């Protein structure tokens, strides 16, 4: 089992699908990430947790290229992608689900799905669409409905299916169940599981606050506090039984967190 050490990300052992090493990132003058490192391997179901403002979403944005880090290196499948544009990263196999505003309400469901498949080849477009609609069956009846009229859970499912149209190998999800009812939230997680099983998604990295459901799903957990990686574990199941063990990270200050 190869894993990144917390303080010095230079020691990456073995081969990982995506690795980000010593990332510093800031919005204007406010620095959000401090030497954060993360490594995602094939078959990972990585759960990224931490208090609000810990830099979880920021880290995902750095990985997908929406935010350019001031320091740090990102590798994907052995290639240095630090200087790649978002488009290049997406078309080379990284799928990214935005936390909000992740569908186009003014277009129909069908048009949204086609937009998700913009950069794939024309001749596979129809097959992909059919595959997606097999997983998200309820979208079939609503293909011509304006996406803005969908309910919260349906919107999220549509957003995920748009990301899946490209058949990403790595899926980065920013709070896929935010604002959903517990039932809708677990069905979204079901869909993600399904995507990993049948849609060729090799690894998933998810930011999620709904720990009850997501801890069952995950097989790896990374705790981010104050822009630093505070804890990494391969056994998220433990925290399901003993949530206080995880909670202690949430109440610590960033300076004390480097246990």
Partner 1 sequence: MTLLLQLLVNGIVTASLYSLLAVGFGLVYRSMRFFHIAFGAVYILASYAVILMRDTFGFPLSVSIIIGLTIGVVGGVLMDRLVYLPLEKRSAGSGVLLVASLGIYILFVNLIALIFGNEVKILSAGIAPSYTFGPLIISRMQTVQCLMGWLLVTVFWFIIRRNTFMKGVWAMGEKQRLVRVLGLPYEFMRVVVFALSSLFAGAASLLVALDVGIDPHVGMQALLTGAVAVIVGGVDLFWGWIAGAFLLAVLQSLAVWQFSARWNDLVTFGILIITLLFRPQGLFAPIRRREE
Q: Name the residues that contact partner 1, by CB under 8 A.
A: 64, 66, 86-87, 90-91, 96, 98, 101-107, 111, 114-116, 118-119, 148-149, 162-163, 166
Q: Are 39 and 12 in contact (CB under 8 A)?
A: yes
| CB closer to partner 1, 163 vs 229 | 163
- Residue 47 CB, nearest approach to partner 1 (Å): 21
- Residue 238 CB, nearest approach to partner 1 (Å): 34
| CB closer to partner 1, 101 vs 141 | 101
- Residue 82 CB, nearest approach to partner 1 (Å): 17
Token code pair at residue 200: 């060729």
- Residue 211 CB, nearest approach to partner 1 (Å): 26
Burial class, 241, CB count within 10 angstroms (exposed 0-12 / middle 13-18 / buried 19+): exposed
| CB closer to partner 1, 82 vs 86 | 86
| CB closer to partner 1, 98 vs 229 | 98
Tell me the CA distances in angstroms from 179 to 148, 156, 162, 194, 209, one per residue in order: 16, 10, 19, 22, 11
Q: Tokens 């800031």 label which residue?
A: 26
């Amino acid at each position: 089992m190869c894993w990144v050490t917390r303080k010095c990300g230079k020691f990456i052992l073995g081969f990982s699908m995506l690795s980000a090493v010593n990332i510093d990132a800031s919005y204007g003058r406010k620095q959000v990430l401090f030497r954060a490192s993360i490594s995602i391997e094939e078959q990972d179901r990585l759960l990224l947790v931490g208090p609000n403002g810990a830099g979880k979403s920021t880290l995902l944005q750095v990985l997908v290229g929406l935010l350019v880090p001031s320091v740090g290196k990102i590798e994907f499948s052995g290639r240095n992608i630090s200087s790649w544009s978002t488009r290049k990263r997406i078309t080379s196999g990284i799928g990214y689900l935005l936390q909000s505003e992740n569908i186009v309400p003014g277009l129909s469901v069908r048009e949204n799905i086609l937009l998700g498949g913009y950069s794939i080849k024309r001749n596979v477009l129809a097959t992909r669409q059919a595959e997606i609609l097999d997983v998200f069956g309820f979208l079939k009846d609503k293909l011509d409905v304006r996406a803005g009229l969908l309910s919260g859970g349906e919107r999220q499912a549509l957003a995920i299916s748009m990301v899946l149209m490209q058949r990403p190998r790595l899926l980065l999800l920013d709070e896929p169940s935010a604002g959903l009812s517990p039932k809708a939230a677990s069905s979204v997680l079901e869909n993600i599981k399904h995507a990993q099983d049948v849609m060729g998604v090799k690894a998933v990295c998810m930011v999620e606050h709904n720990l009850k459901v997501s801890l069952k799903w995950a097989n790896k957990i990374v705790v981010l506090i104050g822009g630093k990686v505070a804890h990494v574990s391969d056994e998220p199941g433990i925290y399901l039984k003993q949530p206080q063990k995880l909670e202690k990270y949430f109440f610590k200050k960033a300076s004390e967190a480097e246990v």
